[in-house]
Structure 1
Amino acid sequence: MDYCASARNLEEASGRDNFRFVKGDVNSTDLVYHVMVTEQIDTVMHFAASTHVDNSFGNSLGFTTANVAGTHVMLEAARACGDQIRRFVHVSTDEVYGENDSYDEAHGNQEDKTRLEPTNPYSASKAAAEMLVKAYARSYGLPVIVTRGNNVFGPNQFPEKLIPKAILMTARGMRLPVHGSGKNKRSYLYVEDVAEAFDCVLHKGETGRVYNIGTTVEQTVLEVVTSVASLMRPDAEVDELIEHVDDRPFNDLRYYLDCSSLTELGWQQRTPFIEGLKKTVAWYTRSGVEEYWGAGAVERVLVAHPRKPGDKAAGCTTAAELKRRELKLIMSSGQLKDLASPSADGGSSGGSASAPKFLLFGRTGWLGGMLAKLLHDGGHDVSFASSRLEHVADVEQEIERSGCTHVLNAAGLTGRPNVDWCEEHKAEVLRVNVIGTLALAAACRAHGVHLTNLATGCIFHYDEAHPQDAERDAETLVAL
């Protein structure tokens, strides 16, 4: 189990005839398939994920591994079970939409009309996972449902999240950290209401559909923290209990959902925020709650910018420090051990702003060759990269050594001789096209180099209703 999990959350279900707990890794293909077959699983509700956004800025590759590759394993195991699987519910997040266009307008993101615009590594990994889910639905006929939910709060939640952290810090007499101005709006649903929403989707939802799970009641982060402080310390000056700290590298201003599809199934919010908050405060202030996740777990997260156990850069708060830490994590994964140190300020690898210098990945492909010819004919300084995307250390070193100002990525596995090849070589395709591209983006970011990634029109869905797709069209990214 991950650091934020606790087997004690399963105590109410243990002992029941229809319950069995299997401790394992969502990325273990053999184990996941074995459990589905031996237990004759017919319904999958896929909640497993890395979810803490703060951590994703410093360990984005870990989020891709858990959220994208892990989802792929679940899907592949379900596909291999054939008609045994009657329903596969994939739990996503409201963050895949990105922030709303308006800070105040009451027009929520709609499941079938709002395009996905994730803005942080966590939400990007969840959006990528959704594309795999949709691809398996179309390619293999897997009966899937996707949910995208607002923030959840209530008892038993690991206290790295805003509300339980604020409760425990207030109980200890600590000041409550608020990222940035605290004006970012969020919507919170009490955990019992969310459980009822999933029960409703599971039994009444239509396969192939996406359902938003949320509330129309919005609060700023500052208002949420103020509510906690006022409830627990009614005689104190709230302003004296709060401190504003460094913001995230990027922090969406608002996620507002249109949940009419869910309400049409018969679900409705039953617990007002303050009522749920009182129940939550009562649970976290009871005796023994701090040992719920093991010794020292709570103390570690009661800070402004927590990190997972073992992270050496737990105190990083600046963007430059986070960039260096992310790149080190990528370079140290698997067999990659060497890392060329970024510059002290996390800045550019060199080059003149008035004379761009291009480094092009994909020299053996038709598109890469044409791009190089166009740039060369235009008098630009362009060279081919000799490193391969999956060899991350070589990529980082080549970017630094080349002194490029712009990277063009036309590399990738597209199939030999056609896309069917990719179906039988999923691990290689993910390693190059997903992990390799992510690592290239991290290396470019660390050196201040502009990256242009050339993707494929195959991510769009064409039919009679959509004979031609434009980049800004709503809901066009549908993997086939």
Structure 2
Amino acid sequence: MSKKKVLVTGGAGFIGGNFVQYMVENYPNYDIYNLDLLTYAGDLTKHREIERKNNYHFIHADIVDRETIFNYFDKERFDFVVHFAAESHVDRSISDPEIFIRTNVLGTQVLLDASKEYKISKFLHVSTDEVYGELDFDPTTFFTEETHLQPSSPYSASKTSSDLLVHAYHETYDLPINITRCSNNYGPYHFPEKLIPLTISRVLNDEKVPVYGDGKNVRDWLHVYDHCTALDLILHDGENGEVYNIGGHNERTNLEVVNTIIKSLGKSEDLITFVEDRLGHDKRYAIDPTKLEKLGWNPIYNFDTGIKQTITWYLNNKDWWNQIISGEYQDYFKKQYKF
């Protein structure tokens, strides 16, 4: 297999970070470049085990910085771009939408322009099922790649905009692309503002766990390792210009997820505290991954095995998340949940 250079944007984040590790370990003959601005959710400590490997490289840069991005493309001549870098927390997008437009839309445009200029082999744009809006509670309905885009939050609107930009660069400039839309990820190194790591960390500390509304909103859950294997397959074998949905048929209500974690850790459901619902809170997400399965992908985790693995990882890596949930994070938590 020929040596390739792969630029991974947002590789200090949760999904991007797991993908960087996956690629470094599985493709020793590829050079993997992790480009990240290191905002509040960016963390390089997760890469300590791969930092000394010859095929791992870190670039500290902002994807909106056109001059810097173009300089790196000119210098390194990347073959592939796998684009994760994004502001991704819905709650933060409701309180401060501007940064989401800057990073998720303008940053994507800069990367597309550089990819076009330097003729990369593929631009893989990692998006979200939230661009589809919401489903009702009918268990027979699912998002497919043909579902209309109807975003409900500033975050999902910014991701929808970036999806459309990527598609437009393919149609207008013949840029080779794929777009992926995944369901909710979970697993190691998940920043503890999201539901599963937030619940695990607070339950372990015997602290109240906030649950929006009545907790009946439904999400489809995808282990981050399974997401990485899907992206690997699409990067190498995905049909040019196609969209692929990535999901695992692991639907749970938010309350079911929280209760599963509490029970697994032997704690009391009294820790649950219902809080005022999120503005524009979508009822249900559920993905039909048939198109990707036909390409050859199958997940190895169901939710029961995946959540056990994730809980065990958090139990064994308290130092990592304890240093995150101090300082600014505590201020954000109190402001967001009012306790």
2:94 corresponds, among 36, 41, 57, to 57
Q: CA RMSD in A?
A: 1.8
Cα distance in 1, alignment partners of residues 230 and 334 from structure 2 = 32
**Following TM superposition, by how much is the alpha carbon of 1:298 offset from its aligned partner in structure 2, in angstroms?**
5.1
Residues 295, 305 of structure 1: alpha-carbon distance in 2 compared, 3 angstrom cutoff: closer
1:30 corresponds, among 59, 67, 73, to 67
- Calculate the TM-score normalised by the size of structure 1: 0.60
**Following TM superposition, by how much is the alpha carbon of 1:107 offset from its aligned partner in structure 2, in angstroms?**
2.5
Match of 2:153 in 1: 120
Cα distance in 1, alignment partners of residues 66 and 108 from structure 2 = 11
Give the 5 Å matches for 1:364-443.
none
Cα distance in 2, alignment partners of residues 123 and 19 from structure 1 = 31
Cα distance in 2, alignment partners of residues 243 and 96 from structure 1 = 29
Cα distance in 2, alignment partners of residues 292 and 212 from structure 1 = 34
1:220 corresponds, among 247, 253, 271, to 253
Task: Work out whether 1:103 is the aligned partner of 2:137.
Answer: yes
- Which amino acid is the alignment partner of residue 336 of structure 2? H
Match of 1:263 in 2: 293
**Following TM superposition, by how much is the alpha carbon of 1:270 offset from its aligned partner in structure 2, in angstroms?**
0.9
CA contact (8 A) 2:221 2:249 kept: no
Give the 5 Å matches for 1:267-416.
267-286=297-316, 287-293=318-324, 296=327, 299-300=330-331, 302-303=333-334, 305=336
Task: Work out whether 1:204 is the aligned partner of 2:262.
Answer: no
CA contact (8 A) 1:6 1:292 kept: no
**Following TM superposition, by how much is the alpha carbon of 1:17 offset from its aligned partner in structure 2, in angstroms?**
2.4
- Which amino acid is the alignment partner of residue 110 of structure 1? T
1:249 corresponds, among 262, 268, 279, to 279
- Which amino acid is the alignment partner of residue 89 of structure 1? L
- Which amino acid is the alignment partner of residue 267 of structure 1? W
Cα distance in 2, alignment partners of residues 233 and 300 from structure 1 = 28
Cα distance in 2, alignment partners of residues 57 and 220 from structure 1 = 22
CA contact (8 A) 1:137 1:143 kept: yes
CA contact (8 A) 1:8 1:292 kept: no
**Following TM superposition, by how much is the alpha carbon of 1:285 offset from its aligned partner in structure 2, in angstroms?**
2.5
Cα distance in 2, alignment partners of residues 104 and 179 from structure 1 = 21
- Which amino acid is the alignment partner of residue 176 of structure 1? V
- Which amino acid is the alignment partner of residue 250 of structure 1? G
Cα distance in 1, alignment partners of residues 323 and 295 from structure 2 = 36
CA contact (8 A) 2:192 2:321 kept: no
Task: Work out whether 1:180 is the aligned partner of 2:213.
Answer: yes
**Following TM superposition, by how much is the alpha carbon of 1:290 offset from its aligned partner in structure 2, in angstroms?**
3.3
Cα distance in 2, alignment partners of residues 291 and 183 from structure 1 = 29
Partner SS for 1:277 = helix
Kindly, what percent of the aligned residue pairs are identical?
38
Match of 1:92 in 2: 127
Cα distance in 1, alignment partners of residues 335 and 309 from structure 2 = 24
Match of 2:265 in 1: 232
Match of 1:378 in 2: none
CA contact (8 A) 2:200 2:311 kept: yes
**Post-superposition CA distance 1:70-115 (Å, at most 9, x none):** 1011101111113xx0000001100000001x3123231111x211
Name stretches of at least 5 consecutive residues in structure 1 with no aligned partner.
307-314, 318-480
**Following TM superposition, by how much is the alpha carbon of 1:297 offset from its aligned partner in structure 2, in angstroms?**
5.2
**Post-superposition CA distance 1:342-378 (Å, at most 9, x none):** xxxxxxxxxxxxxxxxxxxxxxxxxxxxxxxxxxxxx
Cα distance in 1, alignment partners of residues 225 and 332 from structure 2 = 25
Residues 54, 222 of structure 1: alpha-carbon distance in 2 compared, 3 angstrom cutoff: same
**Post-superposition CA distance 1:118-173 (Å, at most 9, x none):** 01100000000111111111111100100000011111111001000000100111
CA contact (8 A) 1:153 1:191 kept: yes
Cα distance in 2, alignment partners of residues 172 and 291 from structure 1 = 10
Cα distance in 2, alignment partners of residues 87 and 54 from structure 1 = 32
- Calculate the TM-score normalised by the size of structure 2: 0.84
Cα distance in 1, alignment partners of residues 116 and 106 from structure 2 = 15
**Post-superposition CA distance 1:311-346 (Å, at most 9, x none):** xxxx6x9xxxxxxxxxxxxxxxxxxxxxxxxxxxxx
CA contact (8 A) 2:121 2:176 kept: yes
| Larger radius of gyration between Structure 1 and Structure 2 | 1
**Following TM superposition, by how much is the alpha carbon of 1:294 offset from its aligned partner in structure 2, in angstroms?**
8.1
Task: Work out whether 1:3 is the aligned partner of 2:40.
Answer: yes
Partner SS for 1:186 = strand
Cα distance in 1, alignment partners of residues 237 and 58 from structure 2 = 26
Partner SS for 2:106 = helix
Residues 245, 91 of structure 1: alpha-carbon distance in 2 compared, 3 angstrom cutoff: same
Cα distance in 2, alignment partners of residues 60 and 297 from structure 1 = 19
Match of 1:462 in 2: none
CA contact (8 A) 1:160 1:301 kept: no
Partner SS for 2:299 = coil
Cα distance in 1, alignment partners of residues 250 and 227 from structure 2 = 15
Could you say which structure has the higher strand fraction? 2
Cα distance in 2, alignment partners of residues 279 and 298 from structure 1 = 25
Residues 297, 192 of structure 1: alpha-carbon distance in 2 compared, 3 angstrom cutoff: farther
Cα distance in 2, alignment partners of residues 39 and 293 from structure 1 = 33
**Following TM superposition, by how much is the alpha carbon of 1:13 offset from its aligned partner in structure 2, in angstroms?**
2.8
